[in-house]
Amino acid sequence: MAKNDELLDILQLINTDGVGPITFYNCIKKAGNIKNALNLMAQKRALYPREMAGIELEKATKIGAEIISYQDKRYPQNLLELNDAPPVLYASGRIDLLNYPVSVSIVGARNASIGGRKMASRIAYDLTEADVLVVSGMARGIDAAAHKGALYAKEQKGATIAVLGTGIDIPYPTENTELYHNICENGLLISEFPLGTAAQVSNFPRRNRIIAALTEATLVVEASVNSGSLITAKLALEQGKEIFAVPGSPMEPRSAGPNRLIKEGALLTENSDDILNVLSMRQNRAIKEQKTLQLPLDKPKNQVNISAHKETAISTSETPAENVRLIDLISYEGVDIDELLRTCGLPQSEFFAQILDLEFSGKIERHAGNKVAKIKG
């Protein structure tokens, strides 16, 4: 059977009304193969038209996306362990990331605090620098912050995977459209939903199982006790994955979810080292030593005070001396990031980390054309 014929068969069956992943696999198991499964299903209900499956495949090709079936060697092996693994994944970007050796999902509140977003972005930045892939759901708040932190790493060439709750051709929320395109360029967008699928409440819990399954561990940064982030953590726990959580004040509702997870056995997390150390032991492999950012006193790496590092990552009330000097070089009209890097004299890793801090502190914003500008206020 030709590869496209087999993919069309799969698209026909999974898009037939009343057929979800579990029914899909049960039908194939009962029938013996995909062709027999289609014939069996056709006796019970009208099949999704083959010509429509062909159009779907053509549309995906036209926008530069691929439809990867569960039988494709590139399909994530972690997902195959789910009994409701998506029979197809729509993918746009770096397909090679689907089976990345070590990955961590970072999830949390949509209405996240500035401190929470900075924490998520800094941990994502540090994990990416240590060659750990960050996966999230591209929602506003913690998800977006994690993706941005990963993209800022590796001299703004860091990779990340966004698992969408819409069709892969629909950026959601619209405020993340630029982020959507940045991820497509340097990372990977994936979705199990057909092209054109709009945002629906029921899609996001389904999306969460993929986020959990793709990674070795899940980090929760700010979440209410009833949030989808805790659903992701629960799914990850059921799959035998490690759960990490950033603690917070008992007076802050957004800390209730992580605090509960910690009570129930999740690993208290203050920085990326807490995650890297556990992953290193769990994987029984040498994960590249985390690159510690240079601090004002230019201390040797082995003498850096961790509490000072943490303060740099999450403080919203104080601005380090380098940040003041860097922000003084940024105008309200905007300056080119590459030119700013050449002008400031900072090491690249420190420069991009400080740009990230300034952005999430609400002091600067990114503009088109690789520019950043100071925010008036």
Q: What CATH number is attached to the domain comprising 219?
A: 3.40.50.450
Q: What CATH number is attached to the domain comprising 310?
A: 1.10.10.10
Average pLDDT, the chain: 86
The answer to the question of residue 139 being in a domain is yes
Does residue 364 register a pLDDT over 90? Answer: no
Burial class (CB in 10 A: 0-12, 13-18, 19+), 249: exposed
Which has the closest alpha carbon to 70: 24, 18, 138, 16?
A: 24
> Do the beta carbons of residue 269 and residue 246 sit within 8 Å?
yes
The answer to the question of residue 89 being in a domain is no
Q: What total of structural domains would you count in the chain?
A: 3
Looking at 1-15, 249-263, 264-278, which range is the least confident one? 1-15
The answer to the question of residue 229 being in a domain is yes
Burial class (CB in 10 A: 0-12, 13-18, 19+), 54: middle
Looking at 97-106, 186-195, 358-367, which range is the least confident one? 358-367
The answer to the question of residue 47 being in a domain is yes
Query: Does residue 46 share a domain with residue 125?
Result: no
Query: Does residue 263 share a domain with residue 162?
Result: yes
The answer to the question of residue 293 being in a domain is no
pLDDT in tens, 68-114: 999 999 999 999 999 999 999 999 999 999 999 999 999 999 999 99
pLDDT in tens, 121-156: 999 999 999 999 999 999 999 999 999 999 999 999
> Do the beta carbons of residue 156 and residue 185 sit within 8 Å?
no
Does residue 203 register a pLDDT over 60? Answer: yes
The answer to the question of residue 291 being in a domain is no
pLDDT in tens, 289-340: 444 433 333 333 333 232 233 333 323 333 343 344 688 888 888 888 877 8
Query: Does residue 312 share a domain with residue 277?
Result: no
Confidence of residue 164 (pLDDT cuts 50, 70, 90): very high
Query: Does residue 206 share a domain with residue 134?
Result: yes
Residue ranges making up the domain that contains 8: 3-62
Give strand ranges (E) for the chain. 66-69, 88-93, 103-108, 133-136, 160-163, 188-191, 217-221, 242-245, 267-268, 335-336, 364-367, 371-374
Determine the pLDDT at residue 287.
44
d(CA 223, CA 284): 31
Does residue 31 register a pLDDT over 80? Answer: yes
The answer to the question of residue 142 being in a domain is yes
Higher pLDDT, 182 or 360: 182
The answer to the question of residue 292 being in a domain is no
Query: Does residue 103 share a domain with residue 14?
Result: no
Of all residues in the chain, the percent with pLDDT exceeding 90 is 68
Query: Does residue 266 share a domain with residue 234?
Result: yes
d(CA 197, CA 332): 38
Kindly report the pTM of this predicted structure: 0.79
- Paired tokens of 266: 């999740």
Higher pLDDT, 304 or 225: 225
